[in-house]
Amino acid sequence: MPDSLINDFRQAFNACQHRTARNLDAGLKQRFQQLADSLDDDETSDLYGSGALIEALETEVAELLGKEAAVFLPSGTMAQPIALKIWSEAARTPYVAMHSTSHVLLHEHNGYQALYGLHGVTIGQNHQVPTLEDLQQAALNPLAAVLLELPMREIGGQLPPWDDLVAQTQWLKAQGIRVHMDGARLWQCPAAYDKSLADIAALFDSVYVSFYKDLGGLAGACLVGDQTFIDKARIWIRRAGGNLYSLAPYVVAAREGLKTHLPQMPKRREQAIWLAGQLNALPGISTWPRVPQTNMFRLRLRGDANSVLPAMIKWMQATGIGILTPPYEVGEDYMMTELTIGDGFNTLPEEDWLRHIASFGDLLRSVISD
């Protein structure tokens, strides 16, 4: 299948007026104007990570997560290996463990090894959340830290049961192994666990959170932990080139994202559960997990992409409705995609989504053979 077909699908989806997934898009000029309007007249830019603007956000995030301190930095790709490096140096061992679907393993070109001299130990099965037994097996190596992702993006936003997570983190700490959270989408978890952000973060020695996933920021992340950890992180951020002259646009966008999107996360989880139920009733579709645990899930669509995708493109162009996001994986007789519910879902009432989903189901019946 030519890449141009995927690109055509992406363009058609992005052009839709109403979409089930993701946050609303604003033009760049409008977005920057909104951020400018959110500023007080006397606010000034940060300077190399200092100043009231950035320090207020760091304090807010630390307090939300119940930790002593936080530091803002440009990306999670910088944040996570820095956290693991700090724990590695403290334990005097380069071994760190993470699930086989970790972003650090899949999407960062082995930066944690090439740049930070760490050695990875893989834990768990590809399509399952890790178990205590998985961690105990990994700990046969002299581990400095274990990275646990909440929720686990590559397996549809799944989470370990709360009691299992407590048992896992307590066992690791009893062995003297630090526990770091990949919390890029941590904002989704309180509604799933019926726990506060601070309750969840309390199980971990360090936490990374992202501001553009779910919260609609421009970019940027925070590392959160005790003061000694954050002091060391600031040194590593400088070494890695992350201590920019100013991070003001990213800081302002993160601040507004926390204010605007974070309160909506419980509702978005309910919407994801509702939407998955509707989609699972359509021909050729199954969601993963069947019932979403968070406001994201993955979806398998049966059918020949060369016939199904062109039909879906024409339908989106005719209706202005995007039901499924562009596929990230295409096989001989199936496609995989991922849906994360954002504020875009709220542009239509439920009854209108029902009508459009029914129409989309009719389309699938016409192009998917039994």
Domains and CATH numbers, the chain: 3-25+264-366 (3.90.1150.10), 46-245 (3.40.640.10)
Check if the beta carbon of residue 336 is closer than 8 Å to that of residue 328: yes
H helix runs in the chain, sequence order: 3-15, 28-38, 52-65, 76-91, 103-106, 111-114, 132-138, 162-174, 189-193, 197-201, 227-239, 248-260, 265-280, 305-319, 350-367
Predicted confidence at residue 3, as pLDDT, reads 82
Q: What is the pLDDT along the chain (370 residues), one digit of tens a residue?
A: 568 899 999 999 999 999 999 999 888 999 999 999 999 999 999 999 999 999 999 999 999 999 999 999 999 999 999 999 999 999 999 999 999 999 999 999 999 999 999 999 999 999 999 999 999 999 999 999 999 999 999 999 999 999 999 999 999 999 999 999 999 999 999 999 999 999 999 999 999 999 999 999 999 999 999 999 999 999 999 999 999 999 999 999 999 999 999 999 999 999 999 999 999 999 999 999 999 999 999 999 999 999 999 999 999 999 999 999 999 999 999 999 999 999 999 999 999 999 999 999 999 999 997 6
The model carries a pTM of: 0.97
CA 364, distance to chain mean position in Å, is: 29
State the Cα–Cα distance between residues 2 and 6, nearest whole angstrom: 7
Angle formed at CA 206 by CA 201 and CA 210, multiple of 5 degrees = 75
